[in-house]
Structure 1
């Protein structure tokens, strides 16, 4: 989940090459100058603009909500770069929808933010945050991943290892405070960002000796980051633990007996890690989880639509553990197993869209008020399975795709605080209802007629239909 497309450097140099030799030379000079010691370091050990606000120097007034609604996460290839007409096209669509947008501080489109302690490189992150602002989205930042020197790399070397293994390494305990300081620097740089997620999927927090999650280490890091962010601004909203709610065969030794269903059983070690964080955290404004409807062995139990009931079961369990007082976010959610290259090509787009809609309905029923679709954007081509828009590399790119239309409409119709109603529907049809709107999903691979909420509807195979009441 989110395990591909970390590094932006290759793309940046490909784009630079298009600008000609002189641009490359300028870029090289700027890069070399940025690594030189001397005037650039302030007495506090930071670059002159390390702690300065970027773009919006005044913190927005008012207390922010702890939930933001339904949006998406930027990955390596997104709409902050490309042909001007294409970027403007998708930016305009996003501005009309107001979808929340999540960005990591390192990887998935962002460079190493602190390659040498006290020396920052926020250029890529600045560009992403500026795109979120320009496109009218609520910005969310995920505080992951960590510079190499925090993970055992040579201090002062400024190197970045972009391999998956390196990126998924957690900071060493002696650098937890350094990571918290980096988080605070990011918060000061973007004062209009009021929502921060601490780390991603417990990456690097696995205890090999005991074959369980290192929930003690993660919680220590989380608490330091929470304290650092609240010191910047008490109104900043902080959430965790962003655990992957893995499910397994109920017969497995690690299977939970407390949380299982036709979709499988939760890995008890995940529940133990969540319980520890929940008991020992210094505070949280929202709770974040991540997961797929299929099991760790890529089984959709008993089928792809029924498997989405896992999102409801997990959500209700999490809400019980936290006393129901914290808004529930899904940082990532997946319904279609991927191949060895992390690609999803097995379903038609109507099929994919219908299962996604069923999953979002299931998350709402589990008490979720916010969720972020992991956008599998590609750099070139007409689009890709599940992409939100066509790539912006050419003038005719940036057009919205079916998954975007579903996400945008879902976010508009079901914002945080929505009151839901129960309606009648036959087997094979999923429905989410308010006093004004019905979202109706046909889970069958054939056309059907169905009576929903007292009205007769004709539904095409895998159709997702919006109905006004």
Structure 2
């Protein structure tokens, strides 16, 4: 009998530490004043419907996302740039994600959404929804990994394995036992070969795996005595895994180092003076770790990072696309230091003070799309949405919590995300910004588009209802 994931201890999600303040939230400091209602009206002629287009709160299940915006004029008053490179969107399965013990109807609805929600699906070797695959040396338990791999195959995606985390006996624990409070502990150096052998065995067991990301956010590799990352230790683990995987599956692409690109205030003593922007500055210790890994790795097929739009311990304010410029700024910097494809294996799109995140949040959905636009502009190759199933986390998801009988339904993000998946993968989308309104857009060659209000204010439109805060609209291709 397979173990029920819902009965094991809840596993903490991997998220950039301190990117969100969970205390009392102050009122937003910035409001939008439309500078040209006439120009906005020209942009929105023919608008039929938008997600959240009325002043009422949008439905929690995102039912209003299934609409279209026919005849929208995206010519006059817009600035357009071509997509920087083909961008594959995907998802990372986490603690609860259409598990076989959940309500069948909710799972079926969620699976229908998942089929159209990404080129890639990412599964962790251990934790974040899977049990220890080798609880004791030479004793294997593949049941939960089997389930996740079957889900990926069933829904038609390509498979990424994140080689994290490690069985307890590889980090000083008792063989046969799992202490989930120590999930984020790194394996001991003497057990790096055993861990690498486990990853190699995993890619042999699952031929569907095409990519391996080595470890997750440098977990367990911070050296408190030196006040920096133990990049030497991580790189030794990376090299062991890379070598072991390539020995048995040379076709599998391997990448790392998957650090959190932490944003700090510019006057922080650990702030970089080279990677900065209106959003703050990157922690220079992360850049040191990236540099060491790059100089000492035995090989790599892609460069993986993650991060959020807010500074550590803070929140964002103002337009969502302004906050998302962090992603494009950091990506452009990485492209000056490496020729490898850039992967954002996790990304966290914050909402301003006073707004609520989570799967049913219109603001979270709009913020996520602003981040995707930044990735597309700057030439990111892959971006993975952490946790496609709604949960208690204050970030976007693609379907509501399928552990509940009424779950598995679309969210405010779903329709726009599914519109973007095939088009961004083709690399032919244009990214637009309205000159006199807080609107951004994605436009396909056939004239269809997604339009997003990235502000907390209504955008006036002559002769029509105003565009609601954080509205998301789908414009169909013009008919002949």
Q: Would you call these one fold, judging by a TM-score over 0.5?
A: yes
Pairing of 1:100-139 with structure 2 (within 5 A): 100-139=120-159
Contact 1:99 1:408 in 2 (8 A): no
Q: How big is the shift at 1:450?
A: 7.6
Show the counterpart of 1:431. 441
Structure 1 partner of 2:366: 354
Whether the 8 Å contact between 2:262 and 2:311 is mirrored in structure 1 is: yes
* Superposed CA offset, 1:127-183 (max 9, x none): 1111111111222111100011111113xx3111001xx111101111111110000
Q: Does 1:389 align with 2:399?
A: yes
Q: Distance in 2 between matches of 1:139 and 1:67?
A: 18
| 2:135–2:177 CA contact under 8 A, matched in 1 | yes
Q: Which digits, 9 at most, give the CA deviation of each residue in 1:345-368, with x for residues without a partner? A: 489722211111111101222221
C-alpha distance in structure 2 between counterparts of 1:179 and 1:69, whole Å: 29
Instruction: Report the counterpart of residue 87 of structure 1 in structure 2.
Output: 107
How far apart, in 1, do the equivalents of 2:243 and 2:222 lie? 24
The residue aligned with 2:50 is none
Cα distance between partner residues in 2 of 1:11 and 1:120: 21
Q: 1:450 to 1:414 in 2, by over 3 A?
A: farther
For 1:204 and 1:9, the matched residues in 2 are separated by: 28
Say how many residue pairs are matched. 395
Whether contact under 8 Å (1:255, 1:266) holds in the other structure is yes
Task: Return the offset for 1:89.
Answer: 2.4
- The change in CA–CA distance for 1:337 and 1:420 in structure 2 (over 3 A counts) is closer
The normalised TM-score by structure 1 is: 0.77
Is the partner of 2:105 in helix, strand or coil? helix
Gaps of 5+ in 1: 1-7, 15-65
Identify the residue that residue 37 of structure 1 maps to in structure 2. Answer: none
Which range is displaced more, 364-373 or 402-411? Answer: 402-411
3-state SS, counterpart of residue 383 of structure 2: strand
The answer to whether 1:74 aligns with 2:93 is: yes
Distance 2:168 2:466 in 1: 56
- In 2: Cα distance, 1:430 partner to 1:11 partner: 40
1:3 aligned partner: none
Counterpart of 1:307 in structure 2 is 323
Distance 1:160 1:361, change over 3 A: same
Aligned to 2:344: 330
Q: Matches of 1:193 and 1:234 in 2, distance apart?
A: 12
Q: By how many angstroms is 1:231 displaced?
A: 1.1
Say if 1:448 and 1:337 are closer, same or farther in 2 by CA, change over 3 A.
closer
SS at match of 1:77: coil
2:13 aligned residue: none
Q: Per-residue deviation at 1:313?
A: 0.4
Which of 235, 238, 249 is residue 254 of structure 2 equivalent to?
A: 238
Report the CA distance between 1:84 and its aligned residue: 2.3
Which structure is higher in RCO with an 8 Å CA cutoff and minimum separation 6?
2
1:460: how far off? 3.2
Give 1:59's aligned residue. Answer: none
Counterpart of 1:265 in structure 2 is 281
8 A contact 2:389–2:402 mirrored in 1: no
Q: Is the 8 A contact 1:68 1:100 kept in 2?
A: no
Match of 1:159 among 155, 172, 177: 177
Query: Which consecutive unaligned segments of at least 5 residues does structure 2 have?
Result: 10-84
Query: In the TM superposition, what whole-angstrom CA distance separates every residue of 1:228-266 from its partner, at most 9, and x where no partner exists?
Result: 111112110111111100010001111111010110000
**DSSP 3-state at the match of 2:413:** helix
Contact 1:256–1:267, Cα closer than 8 Å, also in 2: yes
Q: Which residue of 1 aligns with 2:459?
A: 448
CA contact (8 A) 2:97 2:388 kept: no
The answer to whether structure 1 residue 218 and structure 2 residue 201 are counterparts is: no
What's the secondary structure of 1:194's corresponding residue? Answer: strand
Task: Write the deviation string for residues 388-419 of structure 1: whole angstroms up to 9, x where unpaired.
Answer: 2123345543222222333222212211x503
Is residue 71–residue 407 contact of structure 1 (8 Å, CA) maintained in 2? no
1:85 Cα deviation from its structure 2 partner: 2.6
